[in-house]
């Protein structure tokens, strides 16, 4: 506890020291510095080089960054011959020495490059941004692809669930964090500070984020929660400006109405499942009256799918029936739901509890899903079992009401398609 209080002071001091630290740049090309970085045996040199590379990278334009990635990806690429040789040596005579030689050869130097950049305090955040730049390039270069996978490999290790810290976000949180919540909210946009306050301050609102100790100013993912009586059937009722907040102890339901990933550079490292379960545990601990944990989720690509498949709502087919068949029947190549939100929650072990019409009457809501929204219900007693059925047997759990809607939709469709 105290240890972290001291951490606090360390970080504080760092803020002030950062100021007086001018860097004199080496004039050599970045690729040369990169080469030296992975080769040097001097820890001091590692720091100096890491600092220069990151500083100079930061000043590059898009083309310069692309060239940098391309140079690094190629120059620090795998040496297949060396992999084979060391593997052969290790097989012939397994020992500490031969194994070490193999592991060093089997991993492209790109990974050691990234790890060594990360030795500089504060580098992690910059590396996450670096991968974000790389992803934005959207090239088809297999070397760049490999570099991206190298980043992903290391990030998966560093942003390991065991290293993450869950923290409540509220109106007492620091402004520089809150402005990021405003910026990163991806589901129901936050207009301004007043709007933000309405999401955080009332007694029936909660928000949590995951942080990594090396990026204490950057949320990784956050979830916004409404405490309600009963399960809500529209986002309008949840976000209404006129509503009277519930007293905390009156609430029986926690509604996860928005989950936003914050770091595009961490694409592929998943936090959401842990977030929901840990937040639910935290809420349950503090609010023993809560008995229901549920989402109020969008169906982002419903209308796109419906139009493509000519299954649009009409007199004989309600929007929620269309939604039901979409969620239950439309699958991707792996046999999982086509809808990414459904895939996420069902994969976590949730069930489709209800589908509501006129649930998101914003322009965006109407456009993307005819105004429909879904409640995914997390019943933590069966979540593990549902999760396994989902992955092992491709089974989707839904309430009978939802199943009936899908059934009606299927029937209508088959009736109309001779």
Site for a second copy in 11-70 (CB under 8 A): 11-13, 15-17, 19-20, 41-45, 47-48
184 versus 211: smaller Cβ distance to a second copy: 211
Active site residue 176: no
Name which of 20 and 400 has its Cβ closer to a second copy.
20
**The dihedral sign for the CA sequence 128, 130, 132, 138:** negative
Active site residue 188: no
d(CA 187, CA 112): 37
Give the span between the Cα atoms of 140 and 127, in whole angstroms: 21
**Near a second copy by CB under 8 A, which window of 189-197, 225-233, 319-327, 407-415?**
189-197
Residues 368-387 that bind a second copy (CB under 8 A): 383-384, 387
Can residue 158 be called a binding residue for a second copy (CB under 8 A)? yes
User: Which member of 234, 297, 303, 318 is catalytic?
Assistant: 297
The C-alpha atoms of residue 401 and residue 126 are separated, in whole angstroms, by: 48
Q: Can you read off the two tokens belonging to residue 197?
A: 């306050």
For a second copy, give the closer residue by CB, 2 or 400.
Answer: 2
Stretch that binds a second copy, among 80-88, 128-136, 252-260, 358-366 (CB under 8 A): 80-88
Task: Single out the segment in contact with a second copy by CB under 8 A; choices: 29-37, 82-90, 335-343, 371-379.
Answer: 82-90
Q: What is the 3-state secondary structure (H, E, C) of 23-66?
A: CCCCCCCHHHHHHHHHHCCCHHHHHHHHHHHHHHHHHCCHHHHH
Q: What does the per-residue mask of binding to a second copy show for 382-411, with x meaning CB under 8 A?
A: -xx--xx--x--------------------
In contact, 352 and 399? CB cutoff 8 Å: yes
Least distance to a second copy, CB of residue 42, Å: 6
Query: Can you give the C-alpha Rg of the chain in angstroms?
Result: 25
For 122, other C-beta atoms within 10 Å of its C-beta total 13
Q: Is 334 in the site for a second copy (CB under 8 A)?
A: no
Q: Any contact of residue 165 with a second copy (CB under 8 A)?
A: yes
For 364-394, b/e burial (b = at least 16 CB within 10 A) is ebeebbbbbbbbbbbbeeebeebbebbeeee
| 197 lines the binding site for a second copy (CB under 8 A) | yes
How far apart CA 200 and CA 206 sit, in angstroms, is: 6
Does position 187 bind a second copy by CB under 8 A?
no
Give, in order, the Cα–Cα distances in Å from 249 to each of 24, 169, 204: 59, 20, 9
Distance in Å, CB of 177 to a second copy, minimum: 6
Q: Which stretch binds a second copy (CB under 8 A): 235-243, 255-263, 269-277, 356-364?
A: 269-277
340 binds a second copy (CB under 8 A): no
Within 83-102, which residues bind a second copy (CB under 8 A)?
83-84, 87, 90-91, 94-96, 99-100, 102
In the region spanning residues 275 to 304, those forming contacts with a second copy, defined by CB under 8 A, are 277, 282, 285-286
Number of residues that bind a second copy (CB under 8 A): 103
Interface with a second copy includes 106 (CB under 8 A)?
A: yes
Tell me how far apart the alpha carbons of residues 351 and 300 are, in angstroms, rounded to a whole number.
18
The tokens of 328 are what? 């239950």
Binding mask 232-251 for a second copy (x = CB under 8 A): ---------------xxx--
Contact indicator for 167, 131 with CB cutoff of 8 Å:
no
CB-based burial, 123-142: b 16+ in 10 Å, e otherwise: bbbbbbbbbebbbeeeeeee
Q: How far is the CB of 281 from a second copy (least distance, A)?
A: 8
Q: Pick the closer one to a second copy by CB: 5 or 310.
A: 5
Catalytic residue set: 297, 345
């Amino acid at each position: 506890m105290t240890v972290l209080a001291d951490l606090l002071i360390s970080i504080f001091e760092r803020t002030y020291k950062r100021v007086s630290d001018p860097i004199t740049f080496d004039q050599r090309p970045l690729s040369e510095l990169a080469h030296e970085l992975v080769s040097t045996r001097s820890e001091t040199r590692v720091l100096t080089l890491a600092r220069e590379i990151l500083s100079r990278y930061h000043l590059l334009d898009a083309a310069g960054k692309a060239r940098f990635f391309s140079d690094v990806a190629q120059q620090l690429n795998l040496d297949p011959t060396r992999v084979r040789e060391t593997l052969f040596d290790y097989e012939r005579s397994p020992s500490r020495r031969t194994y070490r030689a193999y592991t060093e050869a089997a991993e492209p130097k790109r990974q050691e490059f990234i790890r060594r950049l990360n030795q500089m305090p504060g580098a992690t955040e910059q590396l996450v941004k670096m991968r974000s730049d790389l992803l934005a390039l959207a090239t088809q270069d297999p070397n760049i692809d490999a570099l991206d996978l190298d980043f992903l490999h290391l990030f998966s290790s560093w942003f390991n669930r065991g290293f993450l810290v869950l923290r409540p976000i509220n109106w007492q949180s620091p402004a520089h964090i809150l402005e990021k919540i405003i910026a990163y909210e991806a589901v129901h946009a936050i207009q301004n500070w007043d709007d933000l306050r309405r999401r955080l301050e009332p007694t029936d609102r909660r928000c949590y984020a995951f942080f990594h100790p090396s990026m204490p100013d950057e949320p990784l993912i956050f979830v916004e929660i409404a405490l309600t009586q009963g399960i809500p059937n529209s986002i309008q009722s949840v976000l209404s400006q006129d509503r009277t907040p519930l007293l905390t102890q009156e609430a029986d339901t926690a509604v996860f109405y928005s989950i936003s990933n914050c770091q595009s550079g961490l694409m592929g490292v998943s936090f959401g499942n842990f977030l929901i379960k840990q937040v639910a545990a935290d809420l349950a601990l503090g609010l023993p009256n809560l008995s229901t944990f549920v989402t109020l989720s969008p169906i982002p690509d419903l209308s796109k799918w419906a139009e493509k498949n000519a299954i649009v709502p009409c007199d004989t087919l309600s929007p929620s029936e269309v939604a039901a068949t979409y969620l239950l029947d439309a699958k991707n190549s792996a046999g999982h739901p086509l809808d990414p939100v459904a895939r996420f929650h069902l994969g976590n072990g949730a069930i489709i509890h209800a589908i509501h019409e006129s649930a998101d009457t914003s322009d965006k809501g109407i456009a993307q899903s005819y105004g429909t929204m879904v409640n995914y219900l997390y019943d933590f007693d069966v979540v593990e079992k549902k999760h396994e059925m989902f992955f092992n047997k491709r089974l989707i759990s839904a309430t009978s009401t939802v199943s009936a809607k899908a059934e009606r939709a299927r029937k209508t469709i088959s009736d109309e398609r001779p």
